[in-house]
Structure 1
């Protein structure tokens, strides 16, 4: 008896546009709004742009802080479509698991490779976007086979368990050596009371890395991460990806667009309220750098809002052509990530050599990085657009 193949799910343009928006924000770092703001200290406009192109020191959120959680969220959104596509090709579970483990390892190794560029030796680090996703991806894939109830239960277990881990780790005592943390006892962003369990480089994740990171070859012993980032953040990052997994299932199974958008926005409101309540009550602060449970909830709220917005504009209103420039980036996100981390200086040097060392002074010294950054962005987008038209997509 002949069996017919299940139809492969179609790409969702709004997801590509949202992913493209996130990747474009990352690529736009070359515009260096901070240097323009420093050159024009009286301008509130450039100060505003500088804030939203930088990570907040500890508690809080800027637009730039939403790049990594959005990218992680979208990994979860894409998973139901990926699993359905492989099922339509009659792949068995073993084959799917082989692909999952391979993808996980590639993401981890690619993250380490990119962080090791221009270094004297391999920089074994596990806190960047790719390695964090790679570490959690097999667990996400396993949850892809589970019911939504189990997925919500797993999310709750991740958030509560991670919060308890930090809460049980002792805060610095009177004889604590602050020199081992790259933070002073009177740092203005240090939290007080119970929230102090989530202070920079004095927490459970920092303690874990002081053991784990020194298992790998290093020029000097690992003592702290200057930004306060940690390996164990992949656990709550998995929580962000689970939120995306649930959103992806809703999106894939939706039949009425207005009900789906309403569902997204109600979920966002609940996540916002939960995250803000934890922060304001001093139970758990909203800190992206160590991916606190409150951050998972708060940034997850933003992810649902942004997904709802792109879905409404691109898929419901049908304004796909308006977002073509983002879709080009979003459909080739791995290529965009690699390009942004490898050839930006090459492009800038090429213009400096062949056009002239002062080519970016056309609008004056204050806007120098803005001009060179804009040129880098245009060249990188041109490469991605060429790949898009030639149907060249880098997939893992």
Structure 2
């Protein structure tokens, strides 16, 4: 399908961004169907194949797996899109004050959605701020107010934020929360006790991650401004790649030398650098392949998901996870049990069936040009 022939897309649209957003959301939706959990169960468990699918699960603490990159990708992509959205609003005549009000309103809605999702997960009213949408509500605000400054200022501020986070973790003196890289005994856990009166239930996640991971959204904005610029396309790829490799190696070196371990759950500076590097490299490759080389005929299934990214994320984590998964399981289990199908295959078919239904929902919205915006 020629995506740019669709009325949803203009000729100058950045398809690599649509793809990047879409594949990230597709993977998140797949998680809500329990697909990645099924793929590490017997008979796959204990085989060499399991090590591959373990990459679709978070690392328990110090280390980096592919799945640890998904949230940084999400936050980075939001940043990349911001300069394009800003330019579009300015072109139609929106004032600075109008755009700022829109951004603030958007962040309040994202925060509300993030809190609401935790209520759904817990099946009761709770006040928890660990969801990616809650984190985004802060990182978007920080990136937006920096966006008007030159790129070098944005980069310096982002690095200063990482340094501040590092200092807070290393120097916080309160007993019980003064072990910077120990789960539940660090500065982030203390902030959680202050904000929510509790720490994450065994996971080690902390709400203050919105501070260091703001760098991902800021770097996304800078990358978006670069792609928006008049520089020739190969130069853009070169700059994105060099920047990505630089911070990628910086993050890994901090970890390898035991200066700062890579820990996604508390968003250490080494984690933010390494994951930010992967995000820049992924964008550079996508831009080169899809927008420069025009090898884009295969991206349609992912673009369909990306056009309603926030909607399908919310749907898959509420209606999908709380009802659709079980509803589909009734029929797949009942039908395939007649044929004495192994439990693993039934679970796999169920997950893939739910994923297909949720993709079809995105496709329906796409064909009807129904776009949910926050």
TM over 0.5: yes
Whether the aligned pair in 2 keeps the contact of 1:143 and 1:151 (CA below 8 Å) is yes
Partners of 1:170 and 1:197 within 8 A in 2? no
Query: Can you list the C-alpha shifts for 1:264-316, whole angstroms capped at 9, x where unaligned?
Result: 11111101121112112222111111111111110001001111121122111
Q: 1:278, 1:294 within 8 Å by CA — same for their partners in 2?
A: yes
Q: Is 2:135 the counterpart of 1:132?
A: yes
Report what 2:163 is aligned to.
160
- Cα distance in structure 1, aligned partners of 2:287 and 2:55: 24
- 1:63 maps onto 2:66 in alignment: yes
Partner of 1:20: 22
2:79 counterpart of 1:76 = yes
In structure 2, the partner of 1:389 is: 367
Q: Are the aligned partners of 1:286 and 1:292 in contact in 2 as well (CA < 8 Å)? A: yes
Are 2:185 and 1:202 equivalent residues in the alignment?
A: yes
- Alignment deviations for residues 51-110 of structure 1 (CA, whole Å, 9 cap, x no partner): 112100011111111110000001110110011011001111111111011000000001
The structure number with the bigger radius of gyration is 1
Q: Is the 8 A contact 2:36 2:57 kept in 1?
A: no
The question of 1:347 aligning with 2:324 is answered: yes
Alpha carbons 2:183, 2:204 under 8 Å: kept? yes
Secondary structure at the counterpart of residue 264 of structure 2 = coil
Give the CA deviation at 1:123: 1.8
Take 1:57 and 1:356, find their aligned partners in 2: how far apart are those partners?
32
Counterpart contact for 1:127–1:231, Cα < 8 Å: yes
Please, what is the CA RMSD of the aligned residues?
Answer: 2.2
- What does residue 334 of structure 2 align with? 357
Aligned length: 361
The separation in 1 between residues aligned to 2:223 and 2:14, in whole angstroms, is 13
Residues 55 and 254 of structure 1: CA distance in aligned 2, closer, same or farther (over 3 Å): farther
**Partner residue, 1:123:** 126
Distance in structure 2 (CA, Å) of the matches to 1:235 and 1:9: 36
**Cα separation, 1, equivalents of 2:246 and 2:173:** 31
Distance across 1 between alignment mates of 2:230 and 2:272: 25
Correspondence 1:1-396 to 2 at 5 A? 10-29=12-31, 30-40=33-43, 41-49=45-53, 51-117=54-120, 119=122, 121-170=124-173, 197-214=180-197, 222-345=198-321, 346-353=323-330, 357-359=334-336, 363-396=341-374
Give the deviation of 1:32 after TM superposition.
3.3
1:151 is paired with a residue whose SS is helix
Shift of 1:365: 1.7
Query: For the Cα contact (< 8 Å) 2:16–2:287, is it kept in 1?
Result: yes
Q: Give the distance between the partners of 2:143 and 2:61, measured in 1 at CA.
A: 28
Provide structure 2 residue ranges, at least 5 long, that are not aligned to the other structure.
1-9
Shift of 1:368: 2.4
- CA gap of 1:312–1:337, structure 2 versus 1, over 3 A, is same
Q: Give the match for residue 5 of structure 2.
A: none
Structure 1 residue 34 displacement after superposition: 3.5
TM-score normalised by structure 1 residue count: 0.86
Cα contact 2:30–2:36 (8 A) shared by 1: no
Pairwise CA distance, 1:356: 5.7
Structure 1, gaps ≥5 residues long = 1-7, 182-193, 215-221
Give secondary structure in 1 for the equivalent of 2:124.
coil
Give the deviation of 1:363 after TM superposition: 4.9
